[in-house]
Amino acid sequence: VPMSIAVGLGVDEVLDGWRQDAGIAVITTILFAAAVGGASWALYRARLRKLSTMEELADTLNFNRQIIEHSEIGISVHRQDGQCIQVNPALSAIVGGTQEELLQVNFRNLETFKQSGAPELAEDTLKNGLELVEDTLKNGNVHRLQAKAITPFGKELWLQWTFASFVERGERFLLALLRDVTAIQVAREELESANIQLRLLSTTDGLTGIANRRNFDEVLAIESRRATRQSQPLALAMIDIDFFKAYNDHYGHQDGDECLRQVAGLLKHCICRAGDLVARYGGEEFVFLCPATTADTALALAEAFRAELEKLALPHAQSPFGVVTVSIGVAAMVPDNTEQANCLLLRLADEALYLAKRDGRNRVALGESNQ
C-alpha cells in the first residue's frame, strides 16, 4: 500500500519569508514616500518663503507709498530726459499746481514750469538748479538749493530743494524733495533784523542817532592798531557846546535835546569821509575821529564845522555870541603803539579843548605838543 507522508509547516514558518520580503518592500516604500515628501515639503517651504518675501515687499511698497502720499515734503520723480513721472499731494499743495499739471513738467523745458502754475523763479536760480540736477544725475551727488519764488498770485515763498538720484532696472532717476521754508526764512530775517537793531541800540546814541561813547571807544582801539601798523596819522577832535548849561536852564531840556540833535546832524554832515566817525561823547560833548588824517587836515575839518554851526544861527540868548557855538580841541599823531593812541591822543585833544575855552570859546585849538 502506497504511503503518503504529509509534511506540515507552522504558520509562523510559512509567513517568515513573506514578512521578510514585505518588510523590505514596506521600508522601501516608506523611504521613497519620505524622499518624495521631503522634496515636496522643501518646495512648499520655499514657496512659503517666497510668498512671505512678496508679502513683505508688498507691505514695504505700501508703507513707502503711504509715506510719499502723506508726507509734508513735496516729492517728485523725473526721468533723465527731464519728464516728471510721479508727484505727491504735498508738492501740489506747496507749489499750487494740480498733480496732473505737475506731471507735465519737464525740467529740460522751462516753459512747462510756467504752464504748470508753479511759482516763478529767477533765471539765475533756474540755471543754478539745472546745473545741480545735471551733476546729481551724472555723478550721484546730493545737492540742496534754497531760493525765493513768486506764486501766480504774487505771494512770495522761500523754497528749499534737495536733489538726489536712484537707479531702478538700470535707469537712473532724479528724486526732488521740496520744502516750504518761508516761515523759517521769515523768522530768520526777523531775528537778523532784531540783532541789527540790538547792535544799533548798543552802539548808537538814542537821542542824536550818531555813534555813542562805547562805539567810539571800540573804533578808536581799532583805528589805533591800524595807524600803528601802517605808520599813518590818526586825528581826533573833542567838541563842547558853549554855555550849554545856561541854554538848558533858559530854554528847557526839551529844546536842549533838540539843540543836541541839530549839532549832531550838522557834525555828521560835515565829517563824512569814508572811515570818519562822529560820536556823542557825553552830555554836550561830541568827538570826531579821522584815520589817515594829518593835524592840518583835521584843523580844517573842525573849523569848517564850527563855521557852519555859527552860520546855522541857532538862537542862544544866554551866550555872548547870541547863537549856539562850539569850542573844539584837535590832536593828531602817528602812534608808536595802541596804548599811546588811546591815551595820549585823547589827552592832547582834551588839552586843546581847554585851550579853546580859555581863549574865549567859539574857536578851534590844536594840542600843544603838535604846535
3 state DSSP class of 237: strand
The pTM of the full predicted model, rounded to 2 decimals, is 0.56
Torsion on CA atoms 267, 271, 274, 278, rounded to nearest 10: -40
* C-alpha closest to that of 112 among 146, 78, 136, 143: 78
Torsions phi, psi of 213, nearest 5? -60, -40
Q: Rounded to an integer, what distance in angstroms lies between the CA atom of residue 156 and that of residue 150? A: 5
Burial string for 207-242 (b: 16+ CB within 10 Å, else e) reads ebebbbeebbeebbeebbebbbeeeebbbbbbbbbb
Q: Please, are residues 278 and 288 in contact by the beta-carbon 8 Å criterion?
A: yes
Burial string for 129-161 (b: 16+ CB within 10 Å, else e) reads beebbeebbeeeeeeebebebeeeeeeebbbbb
* Ranges of the chain with pLDDT below 70: 1-64, 114, 116-117, 152-153, 338-341, 368-371
Active-site annotation, residues: 284
What pLDDT score does 95 carry?
Answer: 84
CA geometry: angle at 88 spanning 84 and 93, to 5°? 110
Distances (CA, A) of 306 to 75, 283, 300, 327: 68, 18, 10, 8
Express each pLDDT in 66-82 by its tens digit.
Answer: 777 888 899 999 999 99
The residues with which 194 forms a beta bridge, in sequence order, are none
Q: Please, are residues 319 and 243 in contact by the beta-carbon 8 Å criterion?
A: yes
Q: Rounded to an integer, what distance in angstroms lies between the CA atom of residue 97 and that of residue 90? A: 11
Express each pLDDT in 216-227 by its tens digit.
Answer: 999 999 999 999
